[in-house]
Structure 1
Amino acid sequence: MNMQQQGGQASMNFAQPPAILSTKDFLYIEDMLSWNLEIIKKAHAYAAMCQDQDVIQAMNRTCQLHIRHYQSILNHLGKHVQATTMAGGMS
């Protein structure tokens, strides 16, 4: 992490995520993927059970939102793995 000295105190630069992902980080990412997948499944199931078009549309929007979140997490993880592999950090 980037640390900067300001007025005698160290502050962290949160502009970029850390280059190294710990086991705890990977477990949290796995949880985030699971949470999003569960919401996708539930929203899809609720939309199929409903007859009210407003509720169906809301569930479909919810489903699409969490699909985008899921893909975003996977893309970020893929970039990290690719960057780590290219740097020779993984075998």
Structure 2
Amino acid sequence: RVPEVGRATVFRTMKLLSEMDVLCRVLLDDASLRYRVSHRQDHHHHLVCVSCASVQELDACIDPEVLSDLARSTGYEIEGHWLEFFGRCAACRNDAA
């Protein structure tokens, strides 16, 4: 018999694996959070299909100058960011046609 594992242990483990870039967090269009295996060990963003919830990793990132301007105009010290783009993937658009 496998001993029970507490929810707090699961969430701490997920957080640790995210910090180690083994998993990445993906925010879906309904505001639910999902984790997936990270195929990249660097900072990246995602395209998320609102129809089928498929996720594509992106190389694009926010220009550092934009982040500097944001910090200057708001008084925040920007420590990081997390960005998801939502839309419909080619397969779902074709299915709808």
Query: Which TM-score applies when normalising by structure 1?
Result: 0.23
Structure with greater strand share of residues: 2
Larger radius of gyration: 1
Which structure has more helix as a fraction of its residues? 1
